[in-house]
């Protein structure tokens, strides 16, 4: 199984997954990082780890449809079998979704179906919830609505700031995502 990780930003979850592939804790091969922001820190992480990386923007392609067609071409060039989204801040459209049906998973920093979309941690914190969570799920045509693979609650403590809560959510992501990805890849191999 050749796996691509799609990311948009800093790349901490990308690096955690890359280490798990390197240590053979995950089945398959991490063949590609794709980032939709050429200057994002995740690109430097990929270079440091020796992982092939490609990057271009929607704007440089002239629109979403052309962008997705070009991205699908890149995924085919690298013979990608499975995709893991790690802070990829774009909705995946039908061009890629149809080609990789049930073979794209996402990490979301909330206990879905609560707080889909952007700024999930901040919204849960602002609503003074007792807890939030982390969800790993397959993606479908909806927004953070695909079948759930794994979830874990993260308490919101009375002493929390947004920064301390984000730190605990990220710790949970770094533990839960490799486990859930392993489960999804093993299922795909059988």
- Given a contact cutoff of 8 angstroms between Cβ atoms, the answer to whether 133 and 151 are in contact is yes
Query: Tens of pLDDT along 81-92?
Result: 999 999 998 999
The whole-number average pLDDT for the span 4-14 is 96
Q: Does domain 2-189 have CATH number 3.50.50.60?
A: no
Residue 58 makes CB contacts below 8 A (sequence gap 6+) with 36, 64, 67, 90
Token digits for 17?
A: 């997954």
Binding-site residues: 11-13, 64, 106
Residue 158 has pLDDT above 90, yes or no: yes
Residue 189's pLDDT is what?
Answer: 83
Query: Tens of pLDDT along 73-132?
Result: 999 999 999 999 999 989 999 999 999 999 999 999 999 999 999 999 999 999 999 999
The H helix count followed by the E strand count for the chain is 7, 7
Q: Where are the beta strands (DSSP E) in the chain?
A: 2-7, 29-35, 53-55, 82-85, 104-108, 131-138, 148-155
Binding-site residues for (6R)-10-formyltetrahydrofolate: 64, 106
The whole-number average pLDDT for the span 165-178 is 97
* Catalytic annotation, pick one of 20, 108, 137, 170: 108
Q: What are the boundaries of each domain within the chain?
A: 2-189
- Given a contact cutoff of 8 angstroms between Cβ atoms, the answer to whether 51 and 57 are in contact is no
Token digits for 48?
A: 């440091």
> Does the global pTM surpass 0.75?
yes
The whole-number average pLDDT for the span 159-179 is 97
d(CA 134, CA 105): 13
Triad 43, 149, 131: Cα angle to 5°:
85
d(CA 18, CA 130): 33
Alpha helices, H only, 62-161: 64-77, 94-99, 120-126
Residue 190 has pLDDT above 90, yes or no: no
* 108 catalytically annotated: yes
Residue 184's pLDDT is what?
Answer: 97
DSSP 3-state assignment of 175? helix
The whole-number average pLDDT for the span 164-185 is 97
Query: Tens of pLDDT along 18-63?
Result: 999 999 999 999 999 999 999 999 999 999 999 999 999 999 999 9
Residue 69 has pLDDT above 90, yes or no: yes
The structure tokens 């849960």 sit at: 124
The structure tokens 């020796």 sit at: 50
């Amino acid at each position: 199984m050749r796996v691509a990780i799609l990311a948009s930003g800093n790349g901490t979850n990308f690096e955690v997954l890359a280490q798990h592939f390197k240590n053979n804790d995950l089945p398959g091969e991490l063949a590609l990082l794709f980032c939709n922001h050429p200057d994002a820190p995740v690109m430097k992480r990929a270079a440091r780890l020796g992982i092939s990386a490609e990057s271009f923007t929607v704007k440089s392609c002239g629109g979403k449809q052309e962008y997705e067609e070009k991205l699908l071409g890149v995924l085919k060039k690298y013979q990608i079998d499975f995709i893991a989204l790690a802070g990829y801040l774009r909705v995946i459209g039908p061009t890629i979704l149809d080609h990789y049906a049930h073979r794209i998973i996402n990490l979301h920093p909330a206990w879905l179906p609560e707080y889909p979309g952007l700024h999930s941690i901040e919204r849960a914190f602002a609503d003074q919830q007792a807890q939030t969570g982390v969800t790993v799920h397959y993606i479908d045509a909806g927004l953070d609505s695909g079948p759930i693979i794994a979830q874990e609650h993260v308490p919101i403590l009375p002493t929390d700031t947004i920064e301390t809560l984000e730190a605990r959510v990220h710790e949970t992501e770094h533990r839960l995502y490799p486990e859930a990805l392993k489960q999804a890849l093993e299922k795909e191999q059988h």
